[in-house]
Chain A
């Protein structure tokens, strides 16, 4: 299976995708700072082509240093479609509560657990939207998003992606490390592209290159 996927997505295309992501995430983090006052550093992204059945193991080993995690999961739909996973250490929700500038009457009205969860969801929604949005913009696509979900897991390895994909399908996994500058929080962002959009991705990457040739 993975040999087959190599043939549909070449090393050259992988390099282009990495470069496009680099540009997209750079723009995302610049705009987040300038427009929304959220200061986040995104590392140089990494691209892997995996069989869907290998996904859980791959993500599990990437995040093995985290003891307990909170995951924000959001599906996105366009010609570019898949799932975004934002993985935080579990104490992140508490630290992030002030980032959207609230701490108003809401803190008294709701349980702290709910407040943390909703904060993760809202910050996660913006961060995922920024990264996926900029990527889609460069590749000339339009995206619709499902509402994000927050999962709290005791065991990171038992987490995510279990039933998300047909085990026989191939996924492009884009991984980046992010950290909020002023909050001392870092985590991982995974964008997992569905099998169905790989063909589109290949042609979109080529038309992206043509614009520069």
Chain B
């Protein structure tokens, strides 16, 4: 019989498991990507080599397939991968693991009884890379590389929701460049662009990994600081303000000194309303402006 050879040539990983999740078959694709020969893994529990799969969720899905004969789909979006393999495409730099789309289904005997289950593994790293690139294009401001307004509008409700559910603090910095119009009028719009880029880069480098820098519009930016209370947020704001003040923007032969004003607020834990959070940070920013600029003002809901 030649047809079973399909298992060994197909560009898909195929695993066959007994109901107790002992490996019965491990095709060549799986051997090549895992580095584990079939002879070594057959007869062992899948969890011996892949303890990461030993979760309630995974076993519930296995039981479901064995009981109902349905298919289970492990999407790349949620799971990224089931089997931790090295990526093999030229997008390797983007992901440290091969991105996989996996399907689990039943194998029946002649009497239609479910005897085993299979898992098929498809390498979708390339698709995931394109998708990530599209998301980047869609959520970044091309000039400054900061996130754009669309990103904020999608992310802010999500962060507020997270706050409601887990009670984690969330702070917002609203800031803009002092006398930006004067920069444009004196040095021209190309210099203005340079200033925006340079200031965004300085602020971005001062933020922590989980913080987000967003261009709100024009010369106005904001920073979303998850897991941060207002005192810490004000300290971050002060650090940013000082860094921008100390930094010189070079534009052609000219050197321009820039300052920023920052309003700080924290999401109110009772109402958790994003509108109130933004309005409060806006009000604080206005106060910072009207009391002389180049300063930080923090406000909590009265």
- Residue numbers of A with Cβ under 8 A of B are 28, 31, 35-37, 100-102, 104, 106, 110-115, 118, 121-122, 125-126, 128-130, 132-134, 136-137, 140, 142-145, 147-148
Across chains A and B, which 5 residue pairs bring their CB atoms closest together, nearest first?
Answer: A129-B70, A133-B68, A101-B56, A145-B71, A118-B78
Q: Are B77 and A132 in contact (CB under 8 A)?
A: no
Q: Are B78 and A134 in contact (CB under 8 A)?
A: no
Beyond contacts A114-B77, A125-B72, A133-B67: 15 other A-B pairs, Cβ-Cβ < 8 A, are: A35-B67, A36-B63, A36-B67, A37-B60, A104-B55, A113-B158, A118-B78, A121-B73, A126-B68, A126-B72, A129-B71, A133-B70, A142-B112, A143-B70, A145-B70
Chain B 101-138 interface 0/1 with A at a Cβ cutoff of 8 Å (1 = within): 00101001000100000000000000000000000000
Give the docked Cα–Cα distance between A129 and B158 (Å): 31
B64 contacts partner chain A, Cβ-Cβ < 8 Å: yes
Which B53-91 residues have C-beta < 8 A from chain A?
A: 55-57, 60-61, 63-65, 67-73, 75, 77-78
Q: Are B64 and A126 in contact (CB under 8 A)?
A: yes
By beta carbon, the residue of chain A nearest B73 is A147
Whole-angstrom distance between the Cβ of A108 and the nearest chain B Cβ = 9
Please, which residues of chain A bring their CB within 8 A of the CB of B112?
Answer: 137, 140, 142
Please, which residues of chain B bring their CB within 8 A of the CB of A122?
Answer: 57, 61, 72
21 example contacts (A-B, Cβ-Cβ < 8 A) are as follows A31-B67, A36-B60, A100-B60, A101-B56, A102-B55, A102-B57, A104-B55, A110-B78, A111-B155, A112-B158, A112-B162, A114-B78, A118-B75, A125-B70, A126-B68, A129-B71, A133-B67, A134-B68, A143-B69, A147-B71, A147-B73
Chain B 235-261 interface 0/1 with A at a Cβ cutoff of 8 Å (1 = within): 000000000000000000000000000
Contact of A129 among B64, B155, B162 (CB under 8 A): B64
By beta carbon, the residue of chain B nearest A113 is B158
Q: Are A36 and B70 in contact (CB under 8 A)?
A: no
B182 contacts partner chain A, Cβ-Cβ < 8 Å: no
Please, which residues of chain B bring their CB within 8 A of the CB of A130?
Answer: 64, 67-68, 70
Q: Are B78 and A106 in contact (CB under 8 A)?
A: yes
B5 contacts partner chain A, Cβ-Cβ < 8 Å: no
Please, which residues of chain A bring their CB within 8 A of the CB of B78?
Answer: 106, 110, 114-115, 118
